[in-house]
Amino acid sequence: MAILDIRGLSKTYASGTSALSDIDLSIERGEIFALLGPNGAGKTTMIGIICGLVTPSGGTVIVDGEDFRKSYRRVRRKIGLVPQELHTDAFEKVIHTITFSRALFGKPANPAFIEQLLRDLSLWDKRHAQVQELSGGMKRRLMIAKALSHEPDILFLDEPTAGVDVELRRDMWRMVGSLRERGVTIILTTHYIEEAEEMADRVGVINGGKLILVEEKHALMQKLGKKRLTLNLDEPLASVPPELAKWDLQLAAEGRELVYEFDAKAEHTGVPSLLRCISDLGIGFSDLNTRQSSLEDIFVELVRRKDAA
Amino acid sequence: MSDNNLRGVWAIYKFELARFRRTFWTSLVLPVLTTALYFIVFGSAIGSRMGEVGNVSYGAFIIPGLIMLSMFTESISNSSFGIYMPKWTGTIYELLSSPLSAFETVLAYVGAAATKSVIIGLIILATSTFFIQPRVDHPVLMLGMMILIAIAFCLFGFIIGIWARNFEQLQVIPLLVVYPLTFLGGAFYSITMLSPFWQTLTLFNPVVYLISGFRWTFFGEGDVSIGVSMAALAFFLALCLAVIFWMFRTGYRLKS
């Protein structure tokens, strides 16, 4: 059974703006799901509805078999949320703000758990510091600690590494990995496609309030991913010779690179015949390389296609 | 698993009272000092030149009004600030995503704010003993009414805290509406001292009924009957509860 089952979820604001439209999505227990989408796509609205911050216009959300409205207490105890913004009580001590979060979700005090949590997030040494004394990266970790303080089964990370440095981002990824080992289901939104590529089991792409694709990450990259062959030419070309028209080549680097995109899984990729033709035309090249398109390339292409539709 | 979240209620209650302790000078000392100054100016300096109001010396007469003046403003300020701050800092996301019912949320914030107001009210009453020997004919009723008035104005403050979009809005109703109504509602005089026209006009001031009722618990007499005062208090409580119920049901200025 899916731990999170969303059916027909929609949100239209009083202004008439449709932020979400008829979203259907199932998340399996223990998986890491990355929700990708440009700004204003509806990612945060969707998370907000599930967590109780936004009132939906329609649809249902079932969390671990329970309706998110009828059984809101049990549902919310299972969910932890790390919002995009660093919302903290500046004058509170770190240890107090964590214990407050745990109690707010109805959990009995557990100093040993809180200590371990703060140690895992490298905040134990700062437990008596006021929140305002923490660096941006530490505040981000504090937000995660608050969300985990009541031991949720599902963790929502809304842009968890926005504005953090590379080292901290890598730390976050490691932490997400260790949470998954403990059985926590993680749903994250991110602008960093490499983050989804690094961590996610499945990827969803949302644009204009509509979920346009949900796919297992590797399958998606295989299915929609293309390979790109780049030839570094000895002499620059002003235009692609007409004899090469059937390969739909592009010129790059001021005519010094010839680029060919092809489906690597196709029976005939067209690469050998292209290379023969280039040789026959006497076009010399000093180097060639191929590259698999990234999740980012796929994402940009998907959003572009959706916008064009 | 029980279908309530008393731990969550207690956590907010403690958090709010901790803020009260942190802001000791402005939360506690300032209202007591202000009240002491009122006692000195109105009770001792001016009051000694005034006659009795009913059968009560002027100094004793103003004690219930002074307590109400402080409790109204403190109740509104504490509870409005309590719910406005999480909205302002953004930490309200944690409250809204927590397994707390609307009733539990109100119980926690209003309970903490009302506790602070009652403490301030009792301290002001104790402070008055330094200046005058207070008379309390109905102490149990006085305490009960003090608690109910604190709750009513804390509920009102809670509404203001949800409604306010900035700090100015947070202050505008307590300072521009409640404070003048309290001054003109018989805090320092009996409305029987006014001309018939102003007496009638004053009866449209809802604060009159609360101050009069509270004063009745001290001296057994007020500007209006205790029954009318109790009914006004019950109406005010019910009205505030209805507005808060509507705010939570619709998510007014709480949810998107």
Q: How confident is the prediction for chain A on average, in pLDDT?
A: 89
Q: Is A164 left (phi over 0), alpha (psi -120 to 50) or beta?
A: beta
- The answer to whether the CB atoms of A48 and B256 lie below 8 A apart is yes
Q: What percentage of chain A has pLDDT greater than the value 90?
A: 56
B10 Cβ under 8 Å from any chain A Cβ: yes
Helix, strand or coil for residue A35?
Answer: strand
For residues B221-249, give the mean pLDDT.
Answer: 96
Cα of A158 to nearest chain B Cα, Å: 13
What digits encode the pLDDT tens for the residues A50-66? 999 999 999 999 999 99
- pLDDT greater at residue B67 or residue B26: B67
- With a cut of 60, say whether residue B1 has pLDDT above it: no
Which of A96-110, A288-302, B67-81, B242-256 bottoms out in mean pLDDT, i.e. has the lowest?
A288-302
Q: Which of A150, A54, A52 is nearest to A104 (CA)?
A: A150
Report phi then psi at B101, rounded to 5: -80, 165
- With a cut of 70, say whether residue B2 has pLDDT above it: no
B56-62 long-range contacts, Cβ below 8 Å, gap at least 24? Answer: B56/B135, B56/B219, B57/B132, B59/B131, B59/B132, B60/B132, B60/B133, B60/B134, B60/B135, B60/B218, B60/B219, B61/B190, B61/B215, B61/B219, B62/B38, B62/B187, B62/B188
B112 Cβ under 8 Å from any chain A Cβ: no
For residues A12-24, give the mean pLDDT.
Answer: 92
Structure-token pair, residue B122: 């009792």
The angle that helices A94-104 and B6-22 make with each other, rounded to 10 degrees, is: 150
Helix, strand or coil for residue B129?
Answer: coil
* Torsion on CA atoms A269, A270, A275, A279, rounded to nearest 10: 170
B99 Cβ under 8 Å from any chain A Cβ: yes
Residue A111 burial by CB count (10 A; 0-12/13-18/19+): exposed, middle or buried? exposed
The type of residue at A212 is I
pLDDT at A173: 84
Cα separation, A297 vs B139, whole angstroms:
77
The type of residue at A112 is A
Instruction: Tell me if B16 sits within 8 A of B113, measured CB to CB.
Output: yes
pLDDT at A39: 82
In angstroms, what CA-CA distances link A163 with A85, A139, A288?
10, 12, 36
pLDDT at A222: 67
- With a cut of 80, say whether residue B231 has pLDDT above it: yes
pLDDT at A295: 66
Q: State the pLDDT confidence band at A125, using cuts at 50, 70 and 90.
A: very high
pLDDT at A293: 65
> First CA to last CA across chain B, in angstroms?
30
- With a cut of 80, say whether residue A304 has pLDDT above it: no
A241-250 long-range contacts, Cβ below 8 Å, gap at least 24? Answer: A241/A281, A241/A283, A243/A277, A243/A281, A244/A274, A244/A277, A244/A278, A244/A281, A247/A274
Ranges of H-type helices in chain A: 43-51, 72-77, 94-104, 111-120, 136-148, 166-181, 193-199, 217-224, 271-280, 295-308
| Nearest-by-CA chain B residue for A51 | B97
- With a cut of 80, say whether residue A192 has pLDDT above it: no
- With a cut of 70, say whether residue A265 has pLDDT above it: no
ipTM score here? 0.89
Which of A17-31, A82-96, A264-278, B125-139 bottoms out in mean pLDDT, i.e. has the lowest?
A264-278
- Residue B43 is classified by DSSP as I
Helix, strand or coil for residue A254?
Answer: coil
| Nearest-by-CA chain B residue for A46 | B256
pLDDT at B57: 86
Q: State the pLDDT confidence band at A168, using cuts at 50, 70 and 90.
A: confident
What digits encode the pLDDT tens for the residues B16-48? 999 888 877 877 888 788 888 888 887 777 777
A106 vs B94, B99, B256: nearest CB = B99
Cα of B10 to nearest chain A Cα, Å: 8
The type of residue at A82 is V
Residues 6+ apart with CB under 8 A from B231: none
Residue A160 burial by CB count (10 A; 0-12/13-18/19+): exposed, middle or buried? buried
Structure-token pair, residue A201: 């089991």
For residues A204-209, give the mean pLDDT.
Answer: 89
Structure-token pair, residue B91: 């930490």
